[in-house]
Amino acid sequence: MKKNKVLLSFDVEEFDLPREHGAEISLTEGIGVSAQGLERIMRVLDRVCVKATFFCTGNFAEGRPDLITRMVESGHEVACHGVDHFSPKKTDLEKSKEIVEEIAGIKVHGYRQPRMQKNDYKELKRCGYKYDSSVNPAYIPGRYNNRNVPRQPYMKDGVLEIPTSVVTGMRVPMFWLALHLFPKKVYYKLAKITIKENGYFATYFHPWEFADLAEYSAVPGYIKHNSGMKMAGRLEGLIRELQKSGCEFATYSEYADS
């Protein structure tokens, strides 16, 4: 596969962020918030003619099977993201595959662990996954300490790991929060630097970032910053900027198969 590939992905999970900050939210409401954001994302992808990879929880797939079907019919890749996002279990690798494959009606090849936690590669292989994308090779106090993890894709126990992109040196993470907080031109420039250095750019977002979050007081302000329709605009701007630079978009499976 040619270089300068962009791997765009979304963690399609029930919105459970308030629970991380001590506030309760029902599963039904959490799915509804994410569904609102997902609708906006898919409209953006339709406008820019880009196919993405959607890592879906079993809870969301069962709650909104219509949106999973829409992903498949639109030519996007559907992958797995556990069952219950807030309470991951060892059995999720197998169970989430069963749920998502049945609802999507396709074979699933990829997995991402909730909150990008460590994965069991031997179990991934046993369950039939070809690739995993659960590594953010950055140092973020209280979340990740992956300064010594490879920045490039690597094989482990027969499974291809595709890390999220970070900028060389300080390993600045180019994930979802960076697009919220960085000035757009700064993010675009760092993305292009990363592509030039690594030959590919892998990043991820969550549908709830694209939903209306003003009423959720438990959600920190820095996460609400540039959320909702503003985030949809930022995503579209990023895609168009990378397209203008000659980058091509690919799903994770397409990249793994290459």
pLDDT digits (tens, 9 = 90+) for 141-160: 777 777 788 999 999 999 99
Please state, in angstroms and rounded to a whole number, the distance separating the CA atoms of residues 176 and 71.
21
Token pair, residue 60, equals 């969301």
Instruction: Render pLDDT for 12-42 as a digit per residue (tens, 0 to 9).
Output: 999 999 999 999 999 999 999 999 999 999 9
What is the average per-residue pLDDT within 53-80?
Answer: 98
- Determine the pLDDT at residue 155: 97
Please give the mean pLDDT across all residues of the chain. 95
Q: Greater confidence, 122 or 172?
A: 122
pLDDT in tens, 177-222: 999 999 999 999 999 999 998 889 999 999 999 999 999 999 999 9
Q: How confident is the model at residue 168 (pLDDT cuts 50, 70, 90)?
A: confident
Is residue 7 within 8 Å of 251, Cβ to Cβ?
yes
Among 34, 93, 113, 94, which Cα is nearest to 68's? 34
Q: Give the pLDDT of residue 3.
A: 63
Tell me the two tokens of residue 165: 């992109």
Indicate the pairing of strand 53-56 with strand 77-80.
parallel
- Average pLDDT rounded to a whole number, residues 166-185: 92
Type of residue at 258: S
Domains of the chain: 5-257 (3.20.20.370)
% of residues, the chain, pLDDT over 70: 99
Average pLDDT over residues 88-103: 97
User: What is the reported pLDDT for 143?
Assistant: 74
Strand bridging mode 139-140 / 144-145: antiparallel
